[in-house]
């Protein structure tokens, strides 16, 4: 039996929920035909057989089976692809299952390292947004459309905060409701503790008081709030990839941060022409973390991770050949 097309299912559901007089127009778009997916599911021994037939060396099949019992083949396939021959369904002569596992392990440890650094940045930014915005515009500034650049985005941001509030089971929210009732919002220092990094970024973007935003940026030795905004967007995208256990080592980043020619604290001179790889965002994370915790060990820990996995291709991560000579990495 053919598998129904997801788009046609949703189009049909949408049509069925429309008023009678609107259904004919909606149904003009049906059916929507795409290629039908026919690849069957394979058990792990069969998957390993496919890999071997494509030239992949597997030193210990029992270990390989155990690995794929805990890491889905679809997720692992991203770490096999760098070893494929260009334009051919075959692996390179030196390709092995164990090399791909090593790359997977490196990426997993890199995610943990980066996510820890981003957590520190997120907590710091949250604190500064709460404190400086509230001191300038009161405990409920997030409810005031007069301090928003875009009124539509203001409504969206308030809706996001409302959803977080409705989901919350935190003790401090319950205590607030018990004392003050549920009619109004908690103040910013309570409510924004529930906000995601993405929501926090949107609130900062849409805040109309530019001088206050500049003070926050300059507290991190970043001269302009527009630069900080671009870093926030790029780091939020990286954070989400880490939180969902996504591959990051050679990922093409969806948001490119601004990379100034110079900054007050140690920075880079050789800036990527296209800042869409891990290296560009990592520069921003490292600089920002240095402004918060000058004695952090992020650079040291990253270099130690590279030393433990010497076969990692740093150019695939966007690193220039002489990256370790940059002042940002001399720690």
Average pLDDT per consecutive 10 residues, the chain (331 residues; last block may be shorter): 44 47 49 77 95 97 97 95 92 96 98 98 97 98 97 96 95 95 94 96 97 98 97 97 94 96 97 95 98 97 97 95 96 73
Model pLDDT, residue 88: 87
Tokens coding 232: 């926030």
**What's the gap between Cα 144 and its chain centre?**
29
324 shares its domain with 221: yes
320 shares its domain with 206: yes
19 shares its domain with 163: no
236 shares its domain with 148: yes
Model pLDDT, residue 31: 56
Q: Is residue 6 part of a domain?
A: yes
28 shares its domain with 128: no
Model pLDDT, residue 4: 44
Whole-number Cα distances in Å, 326 to 131, 257, 262, 285: 34, 18, 12, 15
Rounded distance between C-alpha atoms, residue 238 and residue 292, angstroms: 19
Computed from CA positions of residues 276, 278, 281, 283, in that sequence, does the dihedral angle turn out positive or negative? negative
318 shares its domain with 184: yes
Q: Is residue 52 part of a domain?
A: no
Q: Is residue 67 part of a domain?
A: no
Q: Is residue 47 part of a domain?
A: no
Q: The domain containing residue 18 runs over which residues?
A: 1-36
Q: Is residue 53 part of a domain?
A: no
Tokens coding 298: 């992020």
Residue with tokens 């949250």: 126
Tokens coding 178: 């018990």
Model pLDDT, residue 125: 98
135 shares its domain with 19: no
Q: Specify whether the CB–CB gap between 95 and 79 falls below 8 A.
A: no
The count of structural domains within the chain is 2
113 shares its domain with 226: yes
26 shares its domain with 125: no
Residue with tokens 């997030």: 142
26 shares its domain with 110: no
Model pLDDT, residue 137: 98
Q: Specify whether the CB–CB gap between 237 and 278 falls below 8 A.
A: no
116 shares its domain with 237: yes
Whole-number Cα distances in Å, 143 to 165, 187, 237: 14, 10, 26
Rounded distance between C-alpha atoms, residue 234 and residue 284, angstroms: 9
Rounded distance between C-alpha atoms, residue 198 and residue 278, angstroms: 19
283 shares its domain with 205: yes
Q: Is residue 310 part of a domain?
A: yes
Q: Is residue 45 part of a domain?
A: no
Q: Is residue 215 part of a domain?
A: yes
* Kind plus residue range of the DSSP H or E element containing 60: none
């Amino acid at each position: 039996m053919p598998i129904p097309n997801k788009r046609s299912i949703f189009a049909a559901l949408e049509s069925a929920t429309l008023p009678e007089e609107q259904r004919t127009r909606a149904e003009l778009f049906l059916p929507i035909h795409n290629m039908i997916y026919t690849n069957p599911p394979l058990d792990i021994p069969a998957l390993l057989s496919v890999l071997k037939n494509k030239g992949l060396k597997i030193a210990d099949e029992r270990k390989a089976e155990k690995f794929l019992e805990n890491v889905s083949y679809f997720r692992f396939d991203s770490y096999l692809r760098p070893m494929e021959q260009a334009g051919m369904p075959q692996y390179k002569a030196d390709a092995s299952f164990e090399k791909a596992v090593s790359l997977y392990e490196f990426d997993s440890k890199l995610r943990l390292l980066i996510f820890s650094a981003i957590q520190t940045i997120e907590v710091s930014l949250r604190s500064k947004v709460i404190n400086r915005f509230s001191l300038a515009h009161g405990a409920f500034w997030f409810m005031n459309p007069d301090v928003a650049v875009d009124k539509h985005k203001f409504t969206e941001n308030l809706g996001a905060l409302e959803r977080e509030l409705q989901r919350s089971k935190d003790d401090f929210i319950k205590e607030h409701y018990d004392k003050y009732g549920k009619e109004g919002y908690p103040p910013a220092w309570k409510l924004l503790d529930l906000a995601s990094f993405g929501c926090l970024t949107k609130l900062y973007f849409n805040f109309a008081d530019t001088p206050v935003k500049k003070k926050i940026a300059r507290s991190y030795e970043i001269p302009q709030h527009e630069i900080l905004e671009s870093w926030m967007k790029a780091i939020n995208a990286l954070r989400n990839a880490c939180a969902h256990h996504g591959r990051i080592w050679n990922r093409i980043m969806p948001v490119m941060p601004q990379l100034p020619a110079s900054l007050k604290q140690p920075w880079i001179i050789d800036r990527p022409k296209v800042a869409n790889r891990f290296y560009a965002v990592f520069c921003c994370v490292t600089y920002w973390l240095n402004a918060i915790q000058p004695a952090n060990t992020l650079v040291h820990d990253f270099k130690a991770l590279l030393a433990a996995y010497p076969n990692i291709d740093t150019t695939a991560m966007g690193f220039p050949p002489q990256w370790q000579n940059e002042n940002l990495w001399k720690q």
